[in-house]
Amino acid sequence: MRVMVGVKRVVDYAVKVRIQPDKAGVELKNVKMSMNPFCENAMEEAVKLKETKAASEVIAVSIGPKAAKDTLRTALAMGADRGVHVMTDDAVRTDQGLEPLAVAGLLKKVVEEQKVDLVLLGKQSIDGDCSQTGPMLAGMLGWPQATFAAKVTVVEAGKQLEVERETDTGTQVLSVPLPAVVTADLRLNEPRYATLPNIMKAKKKTVDVLTAADMGVDLKPRTTVIEVVPPPVRQGGVIVESVDELIDKLKTEAGVLQ
């Protein structure tokens, strides 16, 4: 079973983002970038499948500018066998200029070329937070999808998975025939550290570079970002004395109760 994992380079989750002075987006200059946390979960799951021999090969794919190479190196150090770098123009922001539709289109090309049985993606990337790429990719490929995966069990390698997925009211268990697209939620696993020996081994693994603009996919964004502004500063709360006072305030001040 050949597994492909999408790994995206995003602003590190611990960075307190600032808005650019021209309000065109969040500041990306001199900001620490890391692999999207949900992509780490996807990567971890793929490496586990490799360790249990359910997967024969794990391919990490990153779509982004030159620097996305660093994210691929991390994926290789975590245990991917090889990488595919779909190079985008350095001027295009992958957090807002490259939309899920384009990303799904590019991933589809790679899936078809690499003859993949299972695509593992993060449920969303923490920059755009769209949560659309996985479902769109499944739709384009005509494959089943299991989003927000909390547990993946291989029923028969290359044929059938069982996926427990997070929903607002609990979890749902799906029987998923392969090929399929699965998107990872945080609870799926605890991503490993890239150990030092594996960091060293990753040096010798190959990364194929493709050019996004040459792949016959329409990359034009469908939306235009007009302005990015920080959320309003939260006002301090008040401590209420009693439930009655709370209900009163919810009615009169907050207007959320009739």
Task: Give the interface with another protein as residue ranges (CB under 8 A).
Answer: 9, 12-16, 30-35, 37, 40, 67, 70-71, 73-74, 77-78, 190-200, 203
CB of 214 to another protein, least distance (A): 26
In the bound state with another protein, the residue whose beta carbon lies nearer, of 193 and 256, is 193
Which of 129, 132, 144 lies closest to 180 in space, CA to CA?
Answer: 144
Element at 83 (helix H, strand E): strand 82-87
How many C-beta atoms lie closer than 10 Å to residue 64's C-beta? 27
In the bound state with another protein, the residue whose beta carbon lies nearer, of 73 and 165, is 73
CB of 122 to another protein, least distance (A): 12
Separation between Cα atoms, residue 15 and residue 17, nearest integer Å:
6
CB of 187 to another protein, least distance (A): 12
Separation between Cα atoms, residue 115 and residue 112, nearest integer Å:
5
- DSSP code string of 126-172: TTT----HHHHHHHHHT--EEEEEEEEEEEETTTEEEEEEEETTEEE
CB of 163 to another protein, least distance (A): 22
In the bound state with another protein, the residue whose beta carbon lies nearer, of 170 and 197, is 197
In the bound state with another protein, the residue whose beta carbon lies nearer, of 16 and 220, is 16
Two tokens, residue 61:
């794919």
CB of 159 to another protein, least distance (A): 31
In the bound state with another protein, the residue whose beta carbon lies nearer, of 67 and 240, is 67
